[in-house]
Amino acid sequence: MVVRVYTLAELAAYIDAELLGDAAQEVTGLATLQAASQGNLAFLANSKYLQFLENTQASAVIVDRDSADRCPVAALIVDDPYMAYAKISQLFSPSLVAAPGVHKSATISDSCTIGAEVSIGPNVVIEEDSVIGDHVTIGPGCIVGAGCSIGDYSRLNPNVTLYHGITLGQRNIIHSGAVIGADGFGFANNQGQWEKIHQLGGVVIGDDVEVGANTCIDRGALTDTQIGNGVKLDNHIQVGHNVVIGEHSAVAAGTAIAGSAEIGSYCTIAGAVGIAGHLTIADHVHVTGMSMVSSSLKTAGVYSSGTALTDNQTWRKNTARLRKLDEYTKRLLKLEKQFEQATEKNT
């Protein structure tokens, strides 16, 4: 693996930072404040880690202006250290560009169109009439169904499955085990027996989308399931048929989105959230972890449900009282009415 080396001057220019320290100091990697050693660049993005700053062994630290005077080593001063770290991490990431070529064990239909500088790994299957763009990487064991389209510079990691008729935009990253285009959960009940509703739509994914490992995106029933540009989906997410996710929204692991839900742009959905079907979530909505979204959210903001973790004894007491909440409410309303009547009588 090639070791990348950058000077602090180069890194400062890359993230538009103010540099305090030796511009010629070389950096060979990134590390946390606690684990860093000479040659490493660390970052401070959360004040609770400020305690580790004064003893860090890093060669330099990315900090904001308020923390710069407490930094014992060279500093790259920016407004948003976490964003700066994210940008610099791209420089030190191991190269994911595979050598162009088609492995001899791959099976590709003669009717496919394969772009320039494409890498197709061992045991890949690409079915008829699919179109693969330029500089695409398809890892070992991937299946690309008939009539699919994969945009330029996209990457399918090993063992990704695209069913037929799937459209991926440019620069997408699909992680291992993801399944895109399986049938949505559509059945009609006929006197106690389930009649399958065949799913006739597809999946359309925009540009710069990342889909996590073992995430499933179901195809539409009649129209397409749609994932907008810049969307980020974590691992183990279920996206039901005909779901629409707007541009630049992010969904964390374990979330399940039922069919025909529409999520706006610039939303964040935290881990293990449940979203019911056929509802609408506005732009700029943020749903906290373990929440259940059972009705539409029409106004931007932060939404939560569920109960906070407590010790078991307190939880049992609270649960017992929760079961009587309806009874308590009725009693309270009755008392309020009696109070109002008594007040009116005395006036």
Contacts of 43 (CB under 8 A, 6+ apart): 30, 33, 61, 62, 63, 81, 82, 84, 85
Please tell me the number of Cα atoms within 13 Å of 290 on its side-chain side. Answer: 4
Query: Which of 241, 248, 278, 286 is labelled catalytic?
Result: 241
Q: If you write DSSP's letter for every residue of 309-333 in order, what string do you get?
A: ---HHHHHHHHHHHHTHHHHHHHHH
Q: Residue 257 burial by CB count (10 A; 0-12/13-18/19+): exposed, middle or buried?
A: buried
Return the SS3 of 208: coil
Return the SS3 of 100: coil
Tokens 């979530």 sit on residue: 281
Q: What is the 3-state secondary structure (H, E, C) of 242-299?
A: CCEECCCCEECCCCEECCCCEECCCCEECCCCEECCCCEECCCEEECCCCEECCCECC
* C-alpha–C-alpha distance, residues 207 and 220, integer Å: 19
180: amino acid identity, one letter: I
Has 241 been annotated as catalytic? Answer: yes
Closest residue by Cα to residue 261 from 247, 248, 274: 274
> Hey, which residues are catalytic here?
241
